[in-house]
Amino acid sequence: MRKILPAGILVILISMVSQMGFILNADVIDGHYLTLIGVVIGLCIGVLYFIYRRKQSLKYMNVIFNLDKRPWYQQPPNYPMTFFFSILGGMIAVSLLNNMPDTGNRRVEIYKVTKMAERRIRYDFIEYLELTNEDGAITYRPKDNQSFSIGQEVEVTIEKGLLGFSQVLNAVPRNS
């Protein structure tokens, strides 16, 4: 049972990263790299937290102490929860930092709808489009009142984020 528990936690963590990466960065061009950067930053924050905690524990080490009234740095660490929340926080912080400011670097490109699909996130399905042109493929989550068909050409407004990752702001059908 003890060998299955870390594998189960790892599966849950990978599932969380995959689903949160899609929710946060589906409209970002090469958003999987932005998700990876957030995960690495979260892991670094978690490791730095445990280093700081260990330093505090050694600094205020007591030989005799009451188990009920130990300070936070002397209580047993909860590694899975700490890394879960640090990775989640790193992903959210990097995504918000990239998407928050208005850099003014907007451009409009023509894409063609090649695929309409949906992705399951917990108990709901999120619809998205795959748009392609000669430069590559991007994903776009349409708004509630937008409808597209496969093969339709769309004008896509793209803005460069603060971290250099471009995001899709809007897609409208092209007037031919």
Q: What mean pLDDT comes out for the span 93-107?
A: 84
pLDDT tens for each residue of 126-176:
888 899 988 888 888 888 888 888 989 999 999 988 888 988 888 898 875
Answer for the pair 41, 94: CB distance below 8 angstroms, yes or no: yes
Which residue(s) pair with 138 in the sheet?
Answer: 131
Domains of the chain: 4-99 (no CATH), 106-173 (2.40.50)
Q: Residue 126's pLDDT is what?
A: 85
Its sign, for the CA torsion 102, 108, 113, 115, is negative
Where does residue 24 rank: exposed (0-12), middle (13-18), buried (19+ CB within 10 A)? buried
pLDDT tens for each residue of 52-62:
888 877 776 65
